[in-house]
C-alpha cells in the first residue's frame, strides 16, 4: 500500500441557496479543488461523490460539466458518514495502486426543516411519533446528565463556542455569535436540547483530490497526508436513529470509540497526538459525548472539558474551529469533506482568525443514522 496525500481541496459555502441547482453548487467545490492542486480535470482517473438527498448520478452530473473524460464517477451514500465513505474509496484506489489521481466530492441540497422521516424509519415508527432525529441524542443527553452530572449549561457552552468560531469562517451558514443566555433561552426541541444547540440540514459541497504522497509535491507546496480513513457501522446493540430497541445485557464500544480505535491504529497515532478536531455536533451533547469517545478526555469528562475552555481555539485541544455543524449546518453528503477542507486548511496554516497555531495533526469525525461513522486523520 502507498501512502496517500491530499493535494487539493475545495468548498462551496454551506447554507441555503434557493433555486441554485446542486450541479452548480457541486462544480464550484470541484473547480476550487482542481485550482488548489493546479491540476487539470483530465488528470483525475476516478471520482466518488457522496450525497444522501440527491438523485441518481449526482456526481456524474456535477463533474461531467468539466468534460466527459470517461472515468468512473460513483455516487456513495452512508448517511452522515457518506463523505468519509467517498474519501475512503478514493484513498483505497490510490493506496492500492489502481490509479494515481482520484477525487472525493460531497454535494447536498437538503429540504427545509425535518428530514422526511420515511427515508429513515419504518412507517409504524412515523405513525407513533418515534421519528424525530434529535430525540435520540436528547435521550442520550438525559442519561449522560444522570450518570455523570453533565449540565445543560455545558451543552450550551458547546453551542456558544461553535457559533463564536463560525464568525471567522466564510463558508459557515450562520457566522453569528450567541451568548450562553441566548442559547439556553432558545426554544426546547427535545429536552434538554435547545434550538441553538442543534444543526440544521442545509446545502453545500466540498471536494478533495488525492494522489500518492511521493507525487504530492508536484501539485502542492503543502500536501497533507492521510494517516487514516475509516468507515464503520455500530456493533450490536445500536440505539441511535432509527433503532427502537436496545440491550441491557450486551456491552460493546460505542460506534465513535470503535471507529476511533481503528483509525488510531491505522494512523499509528493516539488522541494525545491530535492538535485540532472537527467532529459531529449534530446537537451540542453529541460533541460532549464525542470528545469522550475520541479519547480527548475521560469517560463522563466531556462536560468539564468544554467548561474548562480546552476545546476553544487556543485551548489544549480545539474542537470544531470551523464552527461545527451547529453553525455551518449539515449538508449531509458534504459534511465530512467540509471537515476535511477545514483540517487541511488548518494544517497548512491558512485558517486566518480561526487558525489553531502550529497544528500538525487533525481528526475529522462524522456519525449518523444506523450507526454510520467515518473518521479521517490528517497530518502535515
- 142 binds other proteins, rule: CB under 8 A: yes
Name the minimum Å distance from CB 126 to other proteins.
5
- Catalytic residue IDs: 80
Q: From CA 23, how far away is CA 116, in angstroms rounded?
A: 22
Q: From CA 297, how far away is CA 48, in angstroms rounded?
A: 34
Name the minimum Å distance from CB 333 to other proteins.
20
Radius of gyration of the chain (CA): 19
Name the minimum Å distance from CB 186 to other proteins.
12
Query: Any long-range contacts for 163-167 (C-beta under 8 Å, 24+ apart)?
Result: 163/196, 163/323, 163/326, 163/327, 165/313, 165/320, 165/321, 165/322, 165/323, 165/324, 165/327, 165/354, 166/322, 166/323, 166/324, 166/327, 166/328, 167/323
Of 36 and 330, the one with the shorter C-beta distance to other proteins is: 330
Judged by CB under 8 A, the residue of 1, 55, 56, 187 near other proteins is 187
Of 115 and 262, the one with the shorter C-beta distance to other proteins is: 115
Of 240 and 311, the one with the shorter C-beta distance to other proteins is: 240
Q: From CA 12, how far away is CA 23, in angstroms rounded?
A: 12
In the block, residue with C-alpha cell 500538525: 360
Of 113 and 358, the one with the shorter C-beta distance to other proteins is: 113
3-class secondary structure, 4:
strand
Nearest to 374, CA basis, from 286, 278, 272: 278
Tell me how crowded residue 298 is: count the other CB atoms within 10 A of its CB. 11
Judged by CB under 8 A, the residue of 3, 35, 96, 143 near other proteins is 143
Distance of CA 38 to the CA centre of its chain: 26
Which of the residues 87 through 126 are near other proteins (CB under 8 A)? 113-118, 123-124, 126
Which of the residues 222 through 281 are near other proteins (CB under 8 A)? 236-237, 239, 243-250
Which of the residues 146 through 185 are near other proteins (CB under 8 A)? 146
User: Which one of the spans 23-31, 142-150, 329-337, 361-369 is the region binding other proteins (CB under 8 A)?
Assistant: 142-150
How many residues bind to other proteins according to rule CB under 8 A? 41
Residue ranges that bind other proteins, judged by CB under 8 A: 113-118, 123-124, 126-132, 135, 138-143, 146, 187-193, 236-237, 239, 243-250
Amino acid at each position: 500500500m502507498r501512502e496517500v496525500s491530499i493535494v487539493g481541496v475545495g468548498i462551496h459555502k454551506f447554507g441555503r441557496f434557493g433555486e441554485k441547482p446542486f450541479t452548480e453548487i457541486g462544480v464550484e467545490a470541484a473547480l476550487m479543488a482542481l485550482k488548489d492542486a493546479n491540476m487539470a480535470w483530465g488528470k483525475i482517473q476516478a471520482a466518488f461523490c457522496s450525497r444522501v438527498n440527491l438523485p441518481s448520478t449526482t456526481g456524474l452530473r456535477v463533474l461531467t460539466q468539466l468534460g466527459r473524460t470517461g472515468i468512473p464517477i460513483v455516487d456513495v451514500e452512508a448517511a452522515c458518514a457518506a463523505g468519509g465513505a467517498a474519501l475512503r474509496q478514493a484513498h483505497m484506489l490510490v493506496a492500492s495502486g489502481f490509479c494515481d489521481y482520484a477525487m472525493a466530492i460531497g454535494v447536498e441540497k437538503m429540504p427545509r426543516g425535518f428530514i422526511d422521516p420515511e427515508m429513515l424509519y419504518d412507517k409504524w415508527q412515523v405513525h407513533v411519533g418515534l421519528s424525530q432525529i434529535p430525540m435520540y441524542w436528547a435521550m442520550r443527553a438525559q442519561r449522560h446528565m444522570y450518570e455523570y452530572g453533565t449540565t445543560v449549561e455545558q451543552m450550551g457552552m458547546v453551542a456558544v463556542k461553535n457559533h463564536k468560531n463560525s464568525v471567522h469562517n466564510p463558508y459557515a451558514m450562520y457566522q453569528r455569535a450567541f451568548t450562553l443566555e441566548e442559547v439556553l433561552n432558545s426554544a426546547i426541541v427535545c429536552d434538554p436540547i435547545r434550538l441553538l444547540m442543534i444543526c440544521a440540514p442545509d446545502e453545500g459541497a466540498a471536494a478533495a483530490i488525492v494522489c500518492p504522497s511521493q507525487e504530492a509535491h508536484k501539485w502542492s507546496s503543502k500536501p497533507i497526508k492521510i494517516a487514516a480513513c475509516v468507515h464503520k457501522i455500530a456493533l450490536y446493540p445500536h440505539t441511535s436513529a432509527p433503532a427502537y430497541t436496545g440491550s441491557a445485557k450486551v456491552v460493546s464500544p460505542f460506534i465513535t470509540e470503535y471507529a476511533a480505535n481503528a483509525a488510531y491504529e491505522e494512523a499509528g497515532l493516539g488522541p494525545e497526538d491530535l492538535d485540532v478536531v472537527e467532529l459531529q455536533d449534530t446537537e451540542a451533547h453529541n460533541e460532549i459525548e464525542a470528545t469522550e469517545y475520541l479519547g480527548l478526555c475521560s469517560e463522563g469528562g466531556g462536560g468539564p472539558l468544554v467548561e474548562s475552555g480546552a476545546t476553544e481555539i487556543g485551548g489544549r485541544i480545539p474542537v470544531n474551529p470551523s464552527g461545527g455543524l451547529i453553525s455551518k449546518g449539515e449538508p449531509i453528503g458534504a459534511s465530512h469533506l467540509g471537515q476535511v477542507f477545514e483540517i487541511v486548511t488548518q494544517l497548512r496554516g491558512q485558517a486566518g482568525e480561526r487558525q489553531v497555531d502550529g497544528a500538525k495533526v487533525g481528526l475529522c469525525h462524522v456519525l449518523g443514522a444506523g450507526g454510520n461513522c467515518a473518521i479521517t486523520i490528517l497530518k502535515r
